[in-house]
Chains A and B, each alone.
Chain A
Amino acid sequence: MTLTLAGQPLPSRLFLGTGGLPHVSLVEPVLEAAAPALVTVSIRRTSSVADGGLLAALRQAGVRLLPNTAGCLSAREAVLTAELAREALGTDWVKLEVIGDEVSLLPDVVELLDAAEQLVRRGFTVLPYTTDDPVVARRLVDLGCAAVMPLGSPIGSGLGVLNPHAIEAVRTAVDVPVVLDAGVGTASDAALAMELGCDAVLAATAVTRADDPVAMARALRLAVEAGRLARRAGRVPRRAAARASSPVSGRIA
């Protein structure tokens, strides 16, 4: 079944970040390998238009852009960044990030809730990067967020899903798409997130800083599909004891 977000059907369940890609020439092959539903970009000061041709490469690929508010430490900064992104890129979708400090890069949920409320009121489709806390997730949805994006582990850490139970609890708590964001290090992390019930996975560092970004892009694409299939297939319950899969009767004496 196709993932629908804010009424828009999306072509896949992998969202891709471009941060850390060693060269713009990798954008095209990575996008082809990942086939992402969305590609995230950041908004930064510029004094020229020759900033590497990233936008041109993304536009040529025809992929939907999701600007983020990465690096913002307050609701005020995040709201202005989102407004600038809407003007620059012509989209009212925003990945809302408000971090508490530049060491942990963890979400500041007080500022996050404030910014989410303001942006929803201003007509944005808000996809907040948040903690793996089901109570905060529910608050964000109550404010009108179109999805929630809980972290698996800190941004760029590659530690995977550190608290699978919390991610499952977020999934149970809300009725909007849940996108596992941050912490994916390799394919198995993305598969696990999908097996836990996430609707999509966002990965940036895992791809862009892999030894072979194109191969990892394909690996994550397959992992997201595999994890989704496994979730729908219904895994066997875990048991403490062994249970023979071969017949017990008819064995030779």
Chain B
Amino acid sequence: MTITMTMNGEDLTVEAATLADLLALRLDDPRPHGVAVAVNEEVVPRGDWSRRPLADGDVVEVVTAVQGG
């Protein structure tokens, strides 16, 4: 299924039925350590990535810890 959505501020058209599909396409490591994901400002727990369907217009944020004060 092709959807048009936004990941980390970038507009994308991708073949992804679930959040896990998207992460497998876009990340070096589809099950990365220390990473969290939100869809439309709701955190999706790691265990739910493969069950979370994606739809046109979804806004996905993928974050990790970086240096900070």
Binding site for B on A (CB under 8 A): 17-21, 40-52, 54-55, 65, 67-68, 70, 76, 80-81, 83-89, 155-156, 202, 204-205, 208
Contacts and interface: CB of A to CB of B under 8 A. Distances in A.
Contacts of B35: 46, 49, 88
Contacts of B46: 87
Given A84-B61, A88-B65, 16 more contacts: A41-B65, A42-B67, A45-B9, A45-B63, A47-B27, A48-B29, A51-B64, A52-B66, A65-B65, A76-B41, A80-B61, A81-B63, A85-B36, A87-B36, A88-B35, A202-B69
Contacts of A205: 69
Among A43, A68, A85, A87, residue most surrounded by chain B Cβ atoms (within 10 Å): A87
Nearest to B10: A47
Contacts of B45: 87
Contacts of B67: 18-21, 41-42, 52, 54, 208
A48 B27 contact: yes
A207 to B, nearest CB: 10
A88 B64 contact: yes
Closest 5 CB pairs of A and B: A42-B68, A204-B69, A17-B69, A88-B36, A87-B36
B61 A18 contact: no
Interface of B: 8-9, 26-29, 32-38, 41, 43, 45-46, 61-69
Contacts of B9: 45
B69 A49 contact: no
A131 B63 CA distance: 28
Contacts of A47: 8, 26-27, 62
Given A80-B41, A84-B38, A88-B34, A50 B28 contact: yes
A21 B69 CA distance: 10
8 contacts: A42-B69, A43-B36, A48-B27, A48-B28, A49-B27, A70-B68, A80-B61, A83-B43
Contact of B69 (A19, A45, A85): A19
A89 B65 contact: yes
Contacts of A52: 66-67
B29 A43 contact: no
A123 to B, nearest CB: 13
Contacts of A202: 69
A41 B63 CA distance: 12
Contacts of A67: 65
Given A83-B38, A84-B38, A88-B36, A44 B66 contact: yes
A89 B69 contact: no
